[in-house]
Structures are given as structure tokens and as C-alpha cells.
Amino acid sequence: MTIHRSRRLGAVALTTAVFIGACSGSGATTAPSVAASDVASTGPSADASSGPSAASPAGSPAGAVTYRCSKGDGQLNGAGSTFIFPLLSKMGEDYNAKCGVKLNYQSIGSGGGIKQWTSNTVDFGASDAYLKDSEIQAAAANGEPVEIPVTFGAVVVAYNLQGLSAPIQMTPEIVAGIFLGTITKWNDPAIVAQNAGVNLPDTDISVVHRSDGSGTTSIFTTYLTAVSPDWVTAVGGGDPTRSAGKEVEWPTGLGASGNEGVTQGINQTDGGVGYVELAYALKNNIPFATLQNKAGNFIVPSLDSVKAAADLASYPGDLRFNLANTDSPQGYPITGTTWVIVYKDLSKVLKSQDRANALVDFLWWAIHDGQADASPLFYGSIPASLLAQDEAAVKSLNWAGTPLLP
């Protein structure tokens, strides 16, 4: 019969599928588990890539930081945020080349990463939101958490309008109005008022949002919650904890999975608008809006304005902070943070002190030389004002009370 034939053809089709999948861009919704360092020999080494332009934090001149390179078991395991996956892959590759420690990171989503970290099946978790009090309590049996901000990302309002002469400028009220469904035409007076000289067409606005639970949605809705009381009323029923999060009850629009799904949705409709990660928009040349921040300045989303948003006068001691609608005058207002989450006393959770040393040494490298990997991949690096507190956080890690770093 045809069974043998179908099977062979099936294999061909499957290969094609994998190929197409691989080409469909980053930010996949699936959960790849990759030993990032497997490809270390083909990539440039850390030393080669950190040139003079490297985002080496200003507070610690290159050369001042030395690395112990503890081997431990030769590998470290982490899980969580899909957003940070490309950066951690590159960091893992470079750190393996430098110190010979492999990093296995499962990008299963921040929620999954926190669960795995809580159940102590990974050495660290990575999350696009700091731990909720309930999550800290759930992990209390293993000890106190330390949350270390390692990178920053932004979410942009991307759109598809043919023949515009300049990027559209938006105020917080416009962004909220579009995603609430109260502003429905591109030539709405509110948009026209902010965009003198731009020939805005009489096109319907067609909103696309994420359908999968996502840190991108969390950053975006946290911003809307911070700037728009109407948003809190309409989406959260007046409760800001319900109007911000990885999934909210959208008043309007289509749902699409992943940054690539949202982008596809925007591109297919003249007048489409949605929100995607800055890194994704930059890599794929998607037009996005310039946003007015809290200080009243219109800010173009960029790595510089993201870094500016993260550059605060002071940070809370536990490093749980929120950059939505930042006070920073040159900061882009829809900025989010990704934290690496570890236990403070690693003696309760890790098999050996060697492994704890390997983890601490990797984190120390990640907040210093590892930051050079951020800019080329369109991630915001740690600002100088934050570095001292990040260093203190890593130095607070201990083995039954004995500090792991000198």
C-alpha cells in the first residue's frame, strides 16, 4: 500500500517544518531547552567581542574585575523568561569559552522559571517580573531569595500605516485610548493634535495583542495601568492588580501568539497596531511610535533611552523596582527589567559548595563583562548607578553564612 511512501514523505515534510520554524524569528512561544555553550567553538569568544564600544559598566573599569572561574560540576542550570533567552545563550557561550562552565537554560516563561526555582530543580530562575510576596513565601522553605536585575528591555507600539513621513508621536492617553478601543481611527483628533504635518489617513485602527501569557504583555499593561486611570477602570474593574499582568481581559482586538504572531497580525492589516519587544522590532525593521514620557519629552525607543529609563536616582534595597512610566527625563516609559533569582544561602539548595562557587562566579561575570553581550543583541545593559547594588546582591550570596565571593 502507501504506508511506506507516506512515512517517507512525512519525514520530508517534518524537516521542512523545522526549517520554517527556525526561520520564523526569535521570541518563539515554544520552550527550547538549549545547552547554549554547545556552539561555543563557532562563536566569537568573550574577549574578541568586548571591544572599546562594549557596554562595560562605567563604575568598574575593564581589568579591575577579575574572575575566579570556579568549575563546579562544569555546568549550571537555569529556567524562566523567554525574553532573556537570546542574551543568556550568548552569555553562556562566552562564559563557557572563558571559564569552561556550560549554561543550560530552559526558556519556558517567567512563571515556569519561578516554579522550577521554587521546587529547586534549577540553580537559578529568570523572570521579567520581580517575585510577588506570595512567591517569596512559597519559596521560604528553601530560604531567602536574592533578585538581581541583569538586563532591560522595552516594549514598543508598532503599527502598519502606508506612506507616513515620520514616526507617529503618542501620548499616554493615545496609547490607552487605542488599546481600550475608544480611539478607533488613525485621524482621531487626539492623534492629529500630536502629529502636526503628518498626513494621518482615515483608516480604522485594528488592534493586535498577545494571546499567550507573556512578560511583554506584563510590561505593556503595567505601563498602561501606571498612566491611565481609564485603563484600570475598564480592564481591571478599578483594581490595578487585574489591569496589569501577563494576561488581562482585553477590551478589543485580535489575539496572536508571540512577537512574530503580533507582527504578522499588524502587517496583514492596513491600520494595524500592536505591541512587541523593542529588540524584535529593531531586528525586523518594524515602524514604532515615539512616546511621551512622564517628564513630557517625546522619546524614541532605543537602547539608550531604555538604559536611561533604568538609570534611577535610587533603587530599593531588595532591587524589586518597576520602571513603567519612569521618572528619568530621557527614559523610554515602557521599559521592563529581567531579574535572575537565586537563594541567598545556597547551602540548603545546591549539592556542593563548588557548584555554588560556579554559580556566583557566573553571576559576577554576567553583571560585568557579560554585559558586553547585551547591546549587540538589542538588550539594555546595567546602568552605572545600579551596578554597585547588583554587586552587593551577588556578594550577599553565601554558603551557610560564609560569603562565597571574597
Partner 1 sequence: MTTTSRPQGIHALRRPRGLGQDGVFRLTLRVVAVLIVIPVLWMMVDTFAETVPVWERFGIPGFVTGLRWAPSFTIYGALPFIYGTLLTSAIAMVIAVPVAVLIALLITEILPPRARTWVAVAVDLLAAIPSVVYGLWGLLVLVPVLRPFEQAVAGTAGKVVPFLAGPTPGPSYFAAGVVVSIMIIPIIAALSREVFAATPRLQREAVRALGGTRWDVIRTVVIPLGRSGVLAAIILGLARAIGETIAVTMVIGNAPKIGASIFSPGFTLASVIANEFNEANQELHPEALIALGLVLLVISVLVNGLAILIRQRFARGVGRVV
The residues binding partner 1 (CB under 8 A) are 2, 5-7, 9-10, 13-14, 16-17, 20-21, 24, 29, 31, 108-112, 114-115, 204, 206, 211-214, 236-237, 242-243, 245-250, 253-257, 261, 264-265, 268-269
In the complex, minimum distance from the CB of residue 256 to partner 1, in angstroms, rounded to a whole number: 7
Q: Measure the CA–CA gap between 191 and 289, rounded to whole angstroms.
A: 11
Closest to partner 1 by CB, 21 vs 329, is 21
- In Å, what is the CA distance from 404 to each residue of 45, 63, 147, 353? 27, 21, 17, 8
Q: Measure the CA–CA gap between 158 and 289, rounded to whole angstroms.
A: 6
In the complex, minimum distance from the CB of residue 162 to partner 1, in angstroms, rounded to a whole number: 15
Q: Measure the CA–CA gap between 342 and 360, rounded to whole angstroms.
A: 10
Closest to partner 1 by CB, 238 vs 329, is 238
Closest to partner 1 by CB, 248 vs 289, is 248
Closest to partner 1 by CB, 2 vs 165, is 2
Residues paired with residue 403 on neighbouring β-strands, in sequence order: 398
What is the helix (H) or strand (E) element at residue 99, kind and residue range? Answer: helix 85-99
In the complex, minimum distance from the CB of residue 239 to partner 1, in angstroms, rounded to a whole number: 9
Quick one: residue 333, left, alpha or beta (phi over 0 = left, psi -120 to 50 = alpha)?
alpha
Closest to partner 1 by CB, 80 vs 383, is 80
Q: Measure the CA–CA gap between 174 and 194, rounded to whole angstroms.
A: 10
In the complex, minimum distance from the CB of residue 402 to partner 1, in angstroms, rounded to a whole number: 35
In the complex, minimum distance from the CB of residue 386 to partner 1, in angstroms, rounded to a whole number: 27
Q: At what angle do helices 215-227 and 229-236 cross, to 10 degrees?
A: 120
Q: Are 371 and 303 spatial neighbours (Cβ–Cβ below 8 Å)?
A: no
Closest to partner 1 by CB, 43 vs 213, is 213
In the complex, minimum distance from the CB of residue 1 to partner 1, in angstroms, rounded to a whole number: 8
